[in-house]
């Protein structure tokens, strides 16, 4: 019995940490495939922020804001985490509401696990509820691994 | 599943469903319609009526026509370059002059600042119809601040919410049209009003004056480029939805303008802060006026909110984009960790709009601002900037025709684009000659853009937001995560 894992990225470093976490704890033989998913939000102030890849500098001259390219660049960085690990890696860009799209993809590929990062640390995470990770863990058709940032120092 | 180790080298390909995009042709149509409808008719109809007289629907017709011709150029360019950057991208590709690109970007930014200020003031006028107590400036500032918060938290990507907003806007204008139909069918209408000019000078100038203001009512369509990248089959859907939305909005505008002229004395329209409400107050349909007034004021506020939200999104996108390119300080590219929103850009934009409002109201109160109020002043400033941008975009469309054309791009009729350039340039000359003080405001906003540029030139570099690939900073950040603790 093997399982398909969906790893979601919002372009944040925390999502890279989540991907590494999966690789650290799962046995590759148990997985049939990994789908790395990025969701572009067309109506948001900034549709996708890629903080993972170092590219983008070179096309600076051309004032091109291709959010889709930013999403693909982030996916490439995340997918590289699973290089040579075993399971086949799929890449997907979707657009819309991140939580909805993550859940839809999880249903489509009949996922056995969804991995998401929860970027919030501190006040905003506590005051402004309703983040993507929260909605995914509420409505996903399978178990969800939410990788949160380490607490600052004290408890580590 | 086959042996995974052998399969994984195929993994560099994106899945074939990576073309999944969320904005359909219909959705884009409603996005354009909603964005355009909110911006002008509720806010400016009184001012346009004052400029022209009973025939002010002609001014709307002229403004809509020039804007739609410009829309054709946008449609052509978007199908060639479906990225979110809009005018700045086209100008950059066409002329390859970084300075020109920078100026046009600052113009875009300034136009949205001024537009948001004008819209916020319009919002406060309608708000006063429901609750008169709070001072309008306070309401306008709270309005801008709350929209910034909404953008920070993230506006819903829900298709339904956007459709509902647009339907509410259309419904509000449909009520106005219905009143007109009832009025006409009773045989009370005096159609001679529709060809009446209330100015001393030539009717042509009156129409041009009105058209320049009515033009503001069409601005916003270019923000459709925001979602170009996520449009399904853009080369087919984008031209249809964009032009369809603009023509649709134009028809609604002309009919609403005619209705207002027929049902309300022009003087009353001209003096009202919330002119479309006068049509409701004319008490033509058998619904209590008080109830209708409140409902209609709320509809107007929804419409204005919808358009202002898009303006604020565009602002923060432009600032974010410029910061990523090191044109303005990198701090504007700062994105909140959990919300993925460019919070510095949002706060800054809200502050600039608030300052515009405060300065406008102060000048108004002191009686220095000239005859026109804050709404018109800022609308004029928006129009000056957008006319410059639109004219350049059409020129860019011509220039970029030198490039080889990908197979299925939309090509706008050349003659219409030519008329579009003349129209934009003509309106621009008129606005500047008619109201030279608006240039001071424009200069102020441009100076702000230059200031940011200078700050980046002299103090930049140190504050890079993005480390080069594989630097120590990237690795150290990820090792602080729980993901690494288990290793």
The answer to whether B224 and B8 are in contact (CB under 8 A) is no
- A28 Cβ under 8 Å from any chain B Cβ: yes
**Percent over 90 (pLDDT), chain B:** 6
Greater model confidence, B153 or B102: B102
Q: How many domains does chain A have?
A: 1
Q: Which residues contact B443 (CB under 8 A, 6 or more apart)?
A: none
Query: Which residues does A4 contact at the CB level (< 8 Å), separation at least 6?
Result: A31, A32, A33, A34, A35, A109, A110, A111, A112
* Residue-wise pLDDT tens digits, B441-483: 888 888 888 888 888 878 765 444 443 333 333 333 333 333 3
* A1-58 pLDDT tens trace: 589 999 999 888 888 999 999 999 888 888 999 999 998 888 887 888 888 887 544 4
Tell me, yes or no, if A128 comes closer than 8 A to chain B by beta carbon. yes
The share of chain B scoring above pLDDT 70, in percent, equals 85
Closest partner CB to B15 (pick from A62, A91, A96) = A91
Q: Which two tokens stand for residue B39?
A: 């911006």
Q: Is B106 helix (H, G, I), strand (E, B) or coil?
A: helix
| pLDDT digit string, tens, across residues B118-141 | 889 888 888 888 887 788 888 888
Which tens digit of pLDDT belongs to each residue from B411-439?
888 888 888 899 889 888 888 888 888 88
Look up the domain containing A79 and give its range: 3-147
Q: How far is CA B398 from CA A10, A152, B77, B95, B242, in A?
A: 38, 56, 10, 11, 19
- What is the per-residue pLDDT for A57? 45
Q: Which residues are bridge partners to A40 per DSSP?
A: A95
Q: What is the pLDDT of residue A33?
A: 92
Q: B461: closest CA among B318, B321, B330?
A: B330
CATH architecture of B22-459: Up-down Bundle (1.20)
Query: Which chain B positions have a beta carbon within 8 Å of A156's beta carbon?
Result: 485
**B334 contacts chain A (CB < 8 A):** no
Rg of chain B (C-alpha set):
24
Q: The tokens 């506006």 sit on which residue?
A: B155
- The reply to whether residue B321 touches residue A63, judged by beta carbons under 8 angstroms, is yes
A153 domain-assigned: no
Closest to B170 measured CA to CA, from B367, B29, B327 = B29
Answer yes or no: is pLDDT of B52 > 90.
no
**pLDDT of A61:** 37
| Cβ–Cβ contact B287 with A under 8 A | no
Which ranges of B186-288 would DSSP assign to H, the alpha helix?
Answer: 203-216, 234-263, 266-271, 275-281
Residues B464, B467, B473: CA angle, nearest 5 degrees: 120
CB A72 within 8 A of CB A9: no
B87's tokens? 């005018």
Q: What local confidence, expressed as pLDDT, does residue B17 receive? A: 52
Residue among A40, A65, A91 whose CB faces B14 most closely? A91
Q: Select the residue from A45, A46, A74 to test the B interface by mutation, using most B Cβ atoms within 10 A.
A: A45
Taking the CB of residue B202, how many other CB atoms lie within 10 A of it?
10
Which pLDDT does position B368 carry in this prediction? 61
Q: CA torsion sign, A131 to A137 to A138 to A142? A: positive
Q: What angle do CA B419, B424, B429 make, to 5 degrees?
A: 125
Q: Is residue A156 part of a domain?
A: no
Domain-embedded: residue A23: yes
Element (H or E) spanning A113, and its range?
strand A113-117
pLDDT for the residue numbered A105: 93
Domain assignment present for A21: yes
Residue A34 lies inside a defined structural domain of this protein: yes
pLDDT confidence of residue B370 = 55
- Return the closest-CA partner of residue B83 out of B222, B229, B221: B229
- Give the helix, strand, coil percentages of chain A, each rounded to 5: 40, 20, 40
pTM assigned to the model: 0.80
Shortest CA gap B114–chain A (Å):
18
Which residues from A are below 8 Å from B157, CB to CB? 41-44, 96-97, 100
The CATH number that applies at residue A77 is 3.40.50.620
Residue B38 sits at the vertex; the CA angle it makes with B35 and B44, to the nearest 5 degrees, is 135
Check: CB of residue A112 under 8 Å from CB of residue A132: no
Q: Which of A74-78, A97-101, B100-104, B379-383 has the highest mean pLDDT?
A: A74-78
Q: What confidence category does residue B406 fall into, taking pLDDT thresholds of 50, 70 and 90? A: low
Q: Do B22 and A57 touch (CB under 8 A)?
A: no
CA distance A143 to chain B (A): 18
Q: How far is B446 from chain A (nearest CA, A)?
A: 19
In DSSP terms, B400 is beta-bridged to none
pLDDT digits (tens, 9 = 90+) for B329-371: 878 888 777 777 888 888 899 999 988 888 888 887 776 655 5
Beta bridge partners of B239: none
What value does the mean pLDDT take over residues B241-259?
A: 90
- A65 vs B7: CB contact, 8 Å cut-off? no
Cα angle A70, B241, B17; round to 5: 40
CB neighbourhood size of B407 (10 A): 5
Band of residue B314 on the pLDDT scale cut at 50, 70, 90: confident
Instruction: For chain A, say whether B324 makes contact (Cβ under 8 Å).
Output: yes
Biggest distance spanned by C-alpha atoms of chain B: 86
Which residue in chain A is spatially nearest to B320 when comparing CA positions? A46
Q: Which of B312, B337, B471 sits opposite A12 (nearest CB)?
A: B337
- Residue B484, pLDDT > 50, answer no
Residue A80 domain-assigned?
Answer: yes
Which token pair is B13?
């390909």
Residue B294 phi, psi (nearest 5) = -65, -50
- Is A126 domain-assigned? yes
Locate the chain A residue with the closest alpha carbon to B98. Answer: A61
SS3 B187: coil
Mean pLDDT: which of B34-38, B162-166, B169-173 is highest? Answer: B169-173
User: Which DSSP string do the residues of B15-31 spell out, in sequence order?
Assistant: PGGGG--SB-HHHHHHH
**B190-201: burial string, b at 16+ Cβ within 10 Å, e else:** eeebbeebbeee
Can you give the residue ranges of every domain in chain B? 22-459
The CA-based dihedral angle spanning residues B137, B138, B143, B145, taken in that order and rounded to the nearest 10 degrees: 110
B101 and chain A in contact, CB less than 8 A: yes
Q: What is residue B245's predicted lDDT score, i.e. its pLDDT?
A: 92
C-beta of residue B315 within 8 angstroms of C-beta of residue B308: no
Residues B200-216: pLDDT tens digits?
667 777 788 888 888 88
């Amino acid at each position: 019995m093997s399982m398909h894992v969906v790893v979601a990225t919002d372009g944040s470093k925390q999502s890279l940490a989540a991907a590494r976490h999966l690789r650290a704890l799962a046995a590759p033989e148990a997985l049939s495939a990994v789908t790395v998913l990025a969701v572009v939000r067309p109506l948001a102030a900034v549709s996708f922020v890629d903080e993972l890849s170092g590219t983008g500098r070179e096309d600076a001259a051309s004032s091109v804001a291709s959010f889709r390219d930013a999403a693909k660049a982030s996916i490439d960085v995340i997918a590289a985490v699973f290089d040579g690990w075993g399971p086949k890696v799929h890449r997907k860009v979707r657009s819309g509401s991140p939580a909805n799209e993550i859940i839809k993809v999880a249903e489509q590929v009949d996922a056995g696990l969804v991995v998401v990062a929860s970027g919030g640390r501190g006040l905003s995470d506590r005051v402004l509820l309703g983040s993507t990770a929260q909605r995914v863990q509420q409505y996903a058709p399978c178990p969800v691994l939410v990788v949160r940032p380490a607490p600052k120092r004290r408890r580590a | 599943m086959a042996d995974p180790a052998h399969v994984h080298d195929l993994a560099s390909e994106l899945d074939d469903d990576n073309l999944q995009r969320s904005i359909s042709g219909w959705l884009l149509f409603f996005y354009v319609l909603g964005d355009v409808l909110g911006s002008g008719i509720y806010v400016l109809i009184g001012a346009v009526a004052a400029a022209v007289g009973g025939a002010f629907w002609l001014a709307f017709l002229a403004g809509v026509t020039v804007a739609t011709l410009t829309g054709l150029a946008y449609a052509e360019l978007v199908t060639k370059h479906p990225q979110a950057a809009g005018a700045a991208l086209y100008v950059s590709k066409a002329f390859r002059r970084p300075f020109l690109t920078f100026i046009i970007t600052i113009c875009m930014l300034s136009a949205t600042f001024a537009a948001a200020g004008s819209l916020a003031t319009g919002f406060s006028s309608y708000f006063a119809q429901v609750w008169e107590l709070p001072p309008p400036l306070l309401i306008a500032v709270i309005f801008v601040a709350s929209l910034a918060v909404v953008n920070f938290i993230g506006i819903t990507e829900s298709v339904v919410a956007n459709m509902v907003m647009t339907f509410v806007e259309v419904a509000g204008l449909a009520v106005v049209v219905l009143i007109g139909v009832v009025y006409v069918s009773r045989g009370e209408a005096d159609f001679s009003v529709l060809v009446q000019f209330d100015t001393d000078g030539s009717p042509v100038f009156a129409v041009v004056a009105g058209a320049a203001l009515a033009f503001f009512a069409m601005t916003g369509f270019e923000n459709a480029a925001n979602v170009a990248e996520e449009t399904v089959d853009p080369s087919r859907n984008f031209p249809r939805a964009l032009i369809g939305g603009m023509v649709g909005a134009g028809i609604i505008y002309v009919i609403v303008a005619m209705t207002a002229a027929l049902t309300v004395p022009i003087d009353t329209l001209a003096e009202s802060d919330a002119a479309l409400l006068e049509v409701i107050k004319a008490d033509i349909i058998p619904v209590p006026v008080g109830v209708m007034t409140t409902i209609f004021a709320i509809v107007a506020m929804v419409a204005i909110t919808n358009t202002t939200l898009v303006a604020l999104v565009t602002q923060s996108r432009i600032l974010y984009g410029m910061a990523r390119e090191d044109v303005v300080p990198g701090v504007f590219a700062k994105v909140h960790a959990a919300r993925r929103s460019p919070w510095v850009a949002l706060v800054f934009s809200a502050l600039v709009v608030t300052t515009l409002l405060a300065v406008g109201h102060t000048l108004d109160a002191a009686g220095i601002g000239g005859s026109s109020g804050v709404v018109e002043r800022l609308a004029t400033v928006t129009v000056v900037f957008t006319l410059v941008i639109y004219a350049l975009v059409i020129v860019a469309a011509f220039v970029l025709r030198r490039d080889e054309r990908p197979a299925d791009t939309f090509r706008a009729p050349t003659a219409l684009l030519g008329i579009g350039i003349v129209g934009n340039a003509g309106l621009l000359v008129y606005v500047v000659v008619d109201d030279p003080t608006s240039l001071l405001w424009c200069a102020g906003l441009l100076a702000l853009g230059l200031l940011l540029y200078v700050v980046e030139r002299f103090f930049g570099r140190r504050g890079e937001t993005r480390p080069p690939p594989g630097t120590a900073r990237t690795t150290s950040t990820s090792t602080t995560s729980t993901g690494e603790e288990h290793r």
